[in-house]
Amino acid sequence: MKDRVAGAADSFTGSPSFGDVVAAAARIAGHVRRTPVMTSRTLDEMVGSEVLMKCENLQGGGAFKLRGATNAVLCLNDDQARRGVAAHSSGNHAGALALAASRRGIPAHLVMPSDVTAAKKAAVEGYGGRVVLCEATLAAREATVAQVVAETGATEVHPYDNPWVIAGAGTATLELLAEAGPLDGVVAPVSGGGLLSGTALAAHGAQPGIRVVGAEPLLADDAARSLAAGRRLDAGPGPTTMADGLLATLSDRTFAILRDTVDEIVTVTEDQIVEAMRLLWERMKLVVEPAGAVPIAALLARPGAWPPRVGVIASGGNVDLDRLPF
């Protein structure tokens, strides 16, 4: 993807590089929030390391997703932009893409499952996105977004299997390293692999030799199983983790990046996710959703086993307050 220019967002099929992450950071500067890096003495003592948390729960739209969505939207040429963007998503990506598109003044068509919560649907519509409902299956979502693209000419912006989205996600780690200084390791949640891929590309490019670890719910552990098997495995039927932002399956693109750049994926139980979430809410006064708390759960699951300075990407804070797990 190196040396690509705006307008290639829907045509490039390769993988991004560190240079693409750096370019994305320059491109989205001023369009997304530079989120704070926060620490907690209590957390440090419990983990046995200095933990520096990049608070993407405080990002516009409530999640890191705005970075990749904004990068992809800004990479569209004028003709593509006039036709808008489309995606299927039941959560943070839908809101992020709607927000990014509204800021450029272009249409956004978001395919969402019929069982999506009213709050998520309202958030997307509040950002100016057009919601198209479909059956609550991946096949239905993919077929519906293909139909929307055919009808509108919109550019599809996949939630994670998109080089511009991956590069944009990696900008959070660039900012973390710029503010925190050299780190011994960085931990990020993994689902479809867009965030962890961008995290790894940014971390290794900015600081060669750094340890990169993914964190994943045990009840949706296809990424951990895939890396262990050396081939991409599907999630299987019915993952039921409360971390509903981590239910996607790796793509061929993200699996290839993670296979080459990630040292390990740590899995955590539902009880460990709740413990981490409560700690963040009570001690750091941070509203972090279950998916965003998974990396902290991974640190707490192995006290004393981490290197001296560890960075963490707290991916989002979009919590359904009517369905808190505690």
Average pLDDT, integer, range 259-277: 97
Q: Does some domain include residue 321?
A: no
pLDDT for res 12 = 54
Choosing from 105, 128, 156, the residue where a domain stops is 156
Q: Averaged over 249-253, what is the pLDDT?
A: 95
Q: What is the pLDDT of residues 111-125, one digit of tens each?
A: 998 888 787 888 899
1 within some domain: no
> What three-state secondary structure class fits 261?
helix
Same domain, residue pair 166 and 84: no
Same-domain pairing of 234 and 258: yes
- Where residue 2 falls among pLDDT bands split at 50, 70, 90? very low
Do residues 83 and 203 both lie within one domain? Answer: no
Let me know whether 121 and 210 are in one domain: no
Domain-embedded: residue 13:
no
Sheet holding 85-88, edge to edge: 130-134, 108-113, 85-88, 155-156
DSSP for 176-242? Answer: HHHHH---SEEEEE-SSSHHHHHHHHHHHHHSTT-EEEEEEEGGG-HHHHHHHHTS-----S----S
Are residues 39 and 98 both part of a single domain?
no
Number of domains in the chain: 2
Positions marked active-site: 65, 315
CATH number at residue 300: 3.40.50.1100
Cα distance between residue 82 and residue 87, in whole Å = 16
Q: Which of 117, 136, 156 is the last residue of a domain?
A: 156
Range of lowest pLDDT (82-86, 135-139, 272-276): 135-139
* Within a domain: 320: no
The per-residue pLDDT for 10 is 45
For residue 115, give its domain range. Answer: 66-156
Does residue 199 lie in a domain region?
Answer: yes
Asked if residue 319 belongs to a domain, the reply is: no
Cβ contact 157:81 at 8 Å: no
**Considering just the CA atoms, what is the radius of gyration of the chain in Å?**
18
The answer to whether position 270 is within a domain reads yes
Contact 176, 54 (CB under 8 A): yes
Same domain (yes/no): 279, 233:
yes
Percent of the chain whose predicted confidence (pLDDT) is above 90: 83
Closest CA to 119 of 158, 90, 159, 144: 90
Does residue 168 share a domain with residue 152?
no
- What average pLDDT score do residues 145-168 get? 97
Mean pLDDT, all residues of the chain: 93
Rounded to two decimals, the pTM is 0.93
| 74 and 60 within one domain | no
Q: Please tell me whether residues 101 and 192 are part of one structural domain.
A: no
Same domain, 174 and 193: yes
End residue of a domain, out of 119, 136, 156: 156
Question: Given a cut of 80, is residue 1 above it in pLDDT?
Answer: no
pLDDT over 50 (residue 5): no
Question: Is 326 part of a structural domain of the chain?
Answer: no
Same domain, 304 and 285: yes
Q: Are residues 57 and 87 in the same domain?
A: no
